[in-house]
């Protein structure tokens, strides 16, 4: 038992930041849920957060496109995470691209406190532009996992979440009704076609 307590104490001193990124339909949330469920099996205290604006499948749970779910706490600002993590070992954050830049400091503070922080989000938006604080999070992460969907047009690994509706604002939540994963080649063909219109 003494070894177990010592081991927990040592693990608590080793905080880290893990980032899971990629396009929509690539399995980011699925991988986040998998890691968090494994932490729970290991008897670690886990808390999961998501932006309040993310209500596609559930107002409260984090839900993957394959309907795998885990309970979470919707929050308005990243700073609120610091108020709710005083007694946890692992913090999960989904859809991190929707938070402002303060998410970077929040994740750094949690890791410095010895917590394992697992963050999932889109690395680029529908225009192929780096999305929100994700590039900064990827730069400071201890580990970055980039997952890929399959391009619905040619079957190659997807690069971007192509928007199917004529809406230019960066943040527009949706699923297959609004987005499709496509590869770089197919994305460039669409951009060229749009330029010639």
Give the pLDDT confidence score for residue 56 in this predicted structure.
65
Half-sphere exposure of 50 (CA within 13 A, CB side): 24
Q: What is the pLDDT of residue 4?
A: 41
Cα dist from 93 to 17, 46, 137, 167, 193, whole Å:
11, 11, 12, 27, 37
Name residues of the chain where pLDDT drops below 70. 1-13, 55-61, 63-68, 197
Least Cα distance to 50 among 78, 83, 28 occurs for 78
Instruction: Write down the pLDDT at residue 172.
Output: 81
Residue 70: per-residue pLDDT:
77
Percent of the chain predicted with pLDDT > 90: 71
What is the value of pTM for the model shown?
0.86
Q: Give me the half-sphere count of Cα atoms (radius 13 Å) on the Cβ side of residue 57.
A: 16
Q: What is the pLDDT of residue 55?
A: 57
List active site positions.
95
Contact criterion met (CB below 8 Å) for 132 and 30: no
> Which domains are delineated in the chain?
2-148 (3.40.50.300)
Contacts of residue 27, defined as CB under 8 A and 6 or more positions apart, other chains included, come to 64, 147, 149
At residue 72, the pLDDT reads 87
Mean of per-residue pLDDT scores for the chain: 88
């Amino acid at each position: 038992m003494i070894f177990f307590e010592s081991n927990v104490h040592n693990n608590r001193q080793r905080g880290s930041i893990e980032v899971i990124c990629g396009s929509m339909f690539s399995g980011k949330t699925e991988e986040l849920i998998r890691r968090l469920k494994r932490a729970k099996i290991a008897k670690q205290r886990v808390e999961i957060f998501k932006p309040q604006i993310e209500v596609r499948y559930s107002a409260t749970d984090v839900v993957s496109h394959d309907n795998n779910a885990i309970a979470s706490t919707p929050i308005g600002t990243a700073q609120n995470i610091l108020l709710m993590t005083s007694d946890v070992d692992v913090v999960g954050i989904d859809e991190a691209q929707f938070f402002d830049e303060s998410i970077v400091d929040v994740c750094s503070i949690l890791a410095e406190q010895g917590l394992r922080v697992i963050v999932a989000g889109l690395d680029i938006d529908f225009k192929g532009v780096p999305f929100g604080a994700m590039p900064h999070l990827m730069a400071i992460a201890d580990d970055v996992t980039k997952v890929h969907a399959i391009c619905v047009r040619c079957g190659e690994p997807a690069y971007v979440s192509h928007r199917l509706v004529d809406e230019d604002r960066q943040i527009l939540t949706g699923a297959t009704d609004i987005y499709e994963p496509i590869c770089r080649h197919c994305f460039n063909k669409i951009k060229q076609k749009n330029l010639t219109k």
